[in-house]
Structure 1
Amino acid sequence: MTSSTAASLYADHLAILQTRTATALERGGFDHLVVPSGTPHTQLFDDRDYPYAVNPQFKHWLPLTRNPGSWLVVTPGARPKLIYLQPRDYWHVVPEAPQGDWVSHVDIEVIRTPEEAMQHLPKNAQRCAILGEAQSALGKYAAFKPNNPQPVLDYLDYHRAYKTPYEIAMLRAATHRGVRAHRAAERAFRAGASEFGIHLAYCQAAGQDANDLPYANIVALNAHGAVLHYTELERVPPKPARSFLLDAGASHAGYACDITRTHAHADEADFQALVNAVDAAQQRMCEQVRAGVDYRQLHLDAHLALSGVLRDFGLITVSPEEAVATGVSSAFFPHGIGHGIGLQVHDVAGFAASDRGGTIARPDGHPYLRLTRTLEPGFVVTIEPGLYFIDMLLEDLRAAGRGTSVDWDRVEAFRPCGGIRIEDNVVCTDAGPLNLTREAFAAA
C-alpha cells in the first residue's frame, strides 16, 4: 500500500468517525467527545507499573499506542485536536514528536506535564462525553473525570463492528506480521524447541514482545493443547514431541490479528489426518461469513460439522445430529466459533441488539459464544473451530450417562496430542468473504 493510499484511507476513516461521533453526542446531549489515552497503573505495594495499555477509544482515531497522558478532543464541525504529552524526562524514553501522514488531519498541542492538558480541553466538562478509566481524571477536584455516558458508548461501540477500509488495511498488516511469526514458530517446533523457545522465536519474527502483542501467546505442545488458554511456556521440550497448537497474534497501529494453527509431528499420521479434517471443515465455515448470516447459526452449524469429523474418525458412536442434541459435541468443542476482532482481540458490542443498547442472547447451552449479531459488510470475525480431549469434560459426559456415545479407545489414542484449533480472521463483504489469514499465508 502506497503512502498516498494510506493517507487517503485514513482521511476517509476520520470522516466516518466524525459522522458517528456527531450522532453519538446528539444521542447523549453533549457537545464534545473527550478521550484520554490512559495512564499507567502502579502495582499495589510496589513502585512498578503494570504494562501500559492504550484506551481503545483513543487509538480508534490515532495510530498511537505508547502515549500515556495524552488526550483527544472531537467537536462536530471542527478538526480533531490531539493534546500530546511529551514530558521532560531523563528516566524514560520521551515520545518523539508526532509524525506520519495522519498528523496533517489533526490539530496538535504539545504539552510537557499532564496538568497542562487542562488549558487545551473544553472549558465546560459537563458538556463533554469523556470516555476512559477513572484514573485518567484531570484538573482541580477532578474536573475532567471520565463519565462514559451509556448512550454515547452504545452508539460508538455498536458501529465499531463496521470496519472502514483503513481499518481493514491495518488488520491486513497485522495479519502479515502474525503469519510471518507463525511460520517461524512452526520451524522452531520442527527443530525440537521447547514451548518457551518457540515463544521466543515467535516474538523475534513478529518483532514484538509481550507488551506489543495483542494477547499472551498460547504455545502448547502435546497434551497442553487440551488447555484452551495454556500460557505456562515450559522451558524443556517434551519427549516425544507429538503435536503443537499455537494461538498467537500480532499488532499494527493499534489493530490486532488472532491466528491459531495446529501441527502434528511427522510420526503422528493419525493426528495429522484429524488436523486436516478440522482444517477442511474450518474453511467451509469461513465461506459462511456472508452478509445476512446469523453468527449464532454459524456456531451451531460448526457443532454439526465437527460432530461429523468426530464420527468419521470413530471418536463418537452416535450420529452428528444426536451428538449436538445431547451435548456430546460440546465436550469436544466447548468454546464459541469465534468473535469480532479489530482494535481489541475480542471486539466490543458482540451482543448488541442495536446502537441504542439491548442484548442478543446466546443459543441455549452455548455460554461461551462471544458474538450473536447478524453479519453485515464490514464485520471482521474470527472462525476458530476446535476439537479437544479434555479429561474433565469427558468425565462429565460419563457422569451424565453419555459414555456409550464415545469410543474411549479412540479417544485414548488421541489424548496425548491434546487438541486442535484452526483460526482465521475473515472480513464480511458485499460479495464473498475475504480471509485475511489465508491470504497472508498464501503470500508468505
Structure 2
Amino acid sequence: MTSSLAPLYPSHLQTLMQRASTALERGGFDHLVVPSGTIHYHLFDDRDYPYAVNPQFKAWAPLTSIPGSWLSFTPGQKPKLVYLQPFDYWHVVPEAPSGYWADHFDVVVIREPDEALQHLPADPARCAILGEPQSALGDWVPNNPQAVIDYLDYHRNWKTPYEIAMMRLATQRGVRAHRAAERAFRAGASEFGIHLAYCQAAGQDANELPYGSIIALNEHAAVLHYTERDRVPPAQVRSFLIDAGASHGGYACDITRTYAADASGEFQSLIDAVDRVQQQLNAKFTAGADFRQVHLDAHLMLAGVLHEFGVLRASAESAVESGVSSAFFPHGLGHGIGLQVHDVAGFASSDAGGRIEPPEGHPFLRFTRKLEAGMVMTNEPGVYFIDLLLDKVRQGPHADSVDWDRVDHFRPYGGIRIEDDLVVTDGEPVNLTRDEFAKPE
C-alpha cells in the first residue's frame, strides 16, 4: 500500500500548498493554521464521544487519531506539523510520525497541548485558522474566514491521483465487507449479526467506518437511514439493503447493494431493473454534464421501471411532471465523496461562494454543479415503498396514477438502492466500486 502511495503524495501536497496559497491571498492572510480537533465529552459525564478529525487537517496527511495537534502552512515554506504525543498511561499514545508523508513536513513533537503555542506563527490575527470552536488554544481561536473556506472547499471537489488511490484502498475494504455481509444475510443472520460480519471483514469498528452502516431487512429498507439493527432476524426474510462504507487514511467509500432472498422472484427482477438503470446512469457521469439534469433523467428512468412493473398506471413522463415519482425516489441521485462521505461545496457556483439551487421539487439533491474531470461522485438511484410519502399520493389528486395493489405487493420488501463511486473523466467514468467487485475473492 505505502509503495503505491509514496510516489503520488508529493504532487498531492504540492496541489494543497498551491490551493492554500491562493486561498490565503483571497482572504488577506499570511498563514494557514489547522487544528486536528479535540476530544468531546458527554454532558455531566467523563465519557468521551468518538473522536472525529478535522477534514481540513487530514487533507494534508493520513492522520486520523491525533487530537490536540496542529498544522501550519506559510506560502513558500515547508508545512509544519505540531504533533501531540502525550505522556499518557491511560490510553494508547500515537506513534511517532513516520511513513511516506512525514519527511515532507517540519515535524515538532509536543507532550502537552499548550506546548503548541510556541510553534505556531507569531501573530494569530494574520492567520486563517480553520477548525471548531473547541480547538481554541489561547489566542488561537478558529476564525474560519469564508473566503478561504469557499476557495478550499470548492477546489477539493477535484481529487488528486493520490486521493483516488486512497479511495481505491477504502473501496477494497468496503467490497470485502459487503461480500461478507451478503454471506451473513444468506446464512440467516440478524441485522446486528450482519453488521458484526461487515465490521469484521472491513477490519474497522463502527467508529472507524465513515458513517453509520444501513443494514435493513425487509420493510426496514423503506427507511432511508435505517440504523436500528434488530438483534433477531424476522420470521420470514424477503430482502436485504446494505448501504455501508469503509475508510482508508481519512478517505471514504460509499457502497449500496440490495438483495432478494428469492433470486427467482419478482422482487429480484425489480432489483435487476433498477441495477440496469443505475448502470445506464453511470455513463452520464461525464465531464460537462449538468448534474441536476442527470438527477431528473434518473427520475424518468426509474418511473419507467415502475410503469413496467405495473406500480405506476401513469406514464413515466406524467409521473415525473406531477411529482409522483418523488414519492418512490425521494432523495438525490448522488453527491461528492472523498475526505467526507457527503463532500463539501456541492452547491457552490464558484470558488468565491454563491449557490446553485436544486431543481424545483427536488430539495434533497446534494450536488447541483456541472461535473468535471477529476471529481468523484456517488450514483445511487433507488425505488422505495414508504408509507409516509405514498399516503400523501393516495390522498392527493394523482392517486389514480398508482396501482395500490402493486404497492401492497412490494411494500414488505421495503425498497431498493444501488450505489457506486465514480471518478468523472472526459469520457467513460472510472467505476471504483464495480472495478473492485469484478476482482475474484
Aligned to 2:230: 234
| Amino acid in structure 1 at the alignment position of 2:325 | S
Matched, 1:59 2:58: yes
Aligned to 1:154: 150
Equivalents in 2 of 1:197, 1:331: separation in Å? 31
Aligned to 1:407: 403
Matched, 1:426 2:425: no
Aligned to 1:182: 178
- Which of 387, 390, 405 does residue 386 from structure 2 map onto? 390
Aligned to 2:33: 34
1:108-149 CA distance string (max 9 Å, x none): 00000000000100010001000000110112xxx1000000
Pairing of 1:12-411 with structure 2 (within 5 A):
12-139=11-138, 143-266=139-262, 269-411=265-407
Unaligned runs of 5+ in 2: none
Q: Equivalent residue of 2:83, what SS?
A: strand
| Amino acid in structure 2 at the alignment position of 1:318 | A
Q: Which moved more, 1:398-407 or 1:305-314?
A: 398-407
Shift of 1:431: 2.6
Q: Is the 8 A contact 2:185 2:240 kept in 1?
A: yes
Equivalents in 2 of 1:177, 1:35: separation in Å? 29
Q: Which moved more, 1:162-171 or 1:398-407?
A: 398-407
Equivalents in 2 of 1:279, 1:239: separation in Å? 28
Equivalents in 1 of 2:178, 2:376: separation in Å? 21
Aligned to 1:440: 436
| Amino acid in structure 1 at the alignment position of 2:371 | L
Equivalents in 1 of 2:267, 2:302: separation in Å? 15
CA gap 1:270/1:340 in 2 versus in 1, 3 angstroms:
same
| Amino acid in structure 2 at the alignment position of 1:21 | A
Shift of 1:411: 1.1
Q: Which moved more, 1:401-410 or 1:366-375?
A: 401-410
Q: Is the 8 A contact 2:71 2:81 kept in 1?
A: yes
Q: Is the 8 A contact 2:154 2:344 kept in 1?
A: yes
Q: Equivalent residue of 1:43, what SS?
A: coil
Equivalents in 2 of 1:12, 1:420: separation in Å? 40
1:241-285 CA distance string (max 9 Å, x none): 000000000000000000000000026610000000000100010
Shift of 1:2: 6.4
Equivalents in 1 of 2:109, 2:397: separation in Å? 67
Q: Is the 8 A contact 1:242 1:267 kept in 2?
A: no
Shift of 1:99: 1.3
Q: Equivalent residue of 1:244, what SS?
A: strand
What is the identity percentage for the equivalent residue pairs of Structure 1 and Structure 2?
70
| Amino acid in structure 2 at the alignment position of 1:53 | A
Shift of 1:430: 2.7
| Amino acid in structure 2 at the alignment position of 1:247 | D
Q: Is the 8 A contact 2:190 2:231 kept in 1?
A: yes
Equivalents in 2 of 1:64, 1:411: separation in Å? 48
Equivalents in 2 of 1:55, 1:348: separation in Å? 13
Equivalents in 2 of 1:178, 1:40: separation in Å? 27
Q: Is the 8 A contact 1:428 1:434 kept in 2?
A: yes
| Moved >2 Å (runs of 4+) | none
1:201-227 CA distance string (max 9 Å, x none): 000000001110000010000000000
State the TM-score, normalized to the length of structure 2.
Answer: 0.99
Q: Which moved more, 1:430-439 or 1:78-87?
A: 430-439
Equivalents in 2 of 1:235, 1:267: separation in Å? 25
Equivalents in 1 of 2:178, 2:5: separation in Å? 26
Q: Is the 8 A contact 1:242 1:268 kept in 2?
A: no
